[in-house]
Amino acid sequence: MDVIWDVIIVGGGPAGLTAGIYTSRHGLKTLLLEGRKIGGRALDAHWIENFPGFPQGLTGPQLMDQFTSQAKKFGVQFKEETVIGINNLDEVHKMVSTRSGFYQTKSVIIASGVQRKQLTIPGETEFKGRGVSYCAICDGPFFKDKKVAVVGSGNEAFSESLHLADMASKVFLIPGRRGHSLNSEEHLESIKRHNNIEMVEGVDILEICGEESVTSIKLKGGHLEKLDVDGIFILYEHVSTSDIIQDTGVTIDGSGCIMVDNRQQTNIPGIFAAGDCCCAGMQVVTAAGDGGKAALSALRYVKSLKN
């Protein structure tokens, strides 16, 4: 508690690690707090081939190891603690509370990510990264000329189905649970214009099946009991993991996404946000870019306190 940090980063995914690289390299005393595994959702990526500088591709864990090593090289301090609150003490200092204690800091970068709703059915965890995906933009190219299922009834599921239809040979769009459906006439008309998109309504998904990778999904209800597919994209609307900031007065939108300006500044001076918790991009490269911007803004802010 005696230490006053220049910046505390909440979250150890691509955004938080990049922010730490920038702040520590510029001489700011930086603490990164992560209650789970360092690397965030990027750890679930079976293969990443679109991150600049790695043309040969690499796994999500391999890329996050590179991020972590670079952050440690410049002096970021890591603590495995879950943040439960952020408070403004005065115009200069803020308090970050964890289940283990309290930390005082001049600035905060929130990079806590989002959490995807899951189906929680047999096969989902087993085939994650081997046919089960939560991001069509990320993994769609792996399914060129293959059959895929898209699960979800929101705007994201609809738009990602259209995106996949340009690559996959067949896209089965499944609202996900009986009683769920796409209600937008505009959406339905767009789907009808794609001969390779088929709506499968009135069913529950019971199990994701396969051997080395996904080969089919079992259904209940309707006239189908099984669909042969090479992949399944689970695209329920995301859930923000930034509940910790609701009591701070930081502005969030109706989906729980943190609102920031073009420098990643929230409505509270000295509190910044970066990456998926801002609900923009949802890619490793965009999260890293946000983290870099937030770090440079935090650097300017901390320097302004010394003047």
Which residues carry out catalysis?
A: 135, 138-139
d(CA 91, CA 118): 41
- Residue 72's CB: how many other CB atoms inside 10 A? 16
d(CA 188, CA 243): 34
Contacts of 199 by beta carbon, 8 Å cutoff, 6+ apart: 173, 182, 188, 191
Q: Which phi and psi angles does 88 have, rounded to 5°? A: -85, 120
Q: Strands of 102-105's sheet, edge to edge?
A: 4-5, 102-105, 94-98, 83-88
Nearest to 244, CA basis, from 79, 35, 64, 14:
35
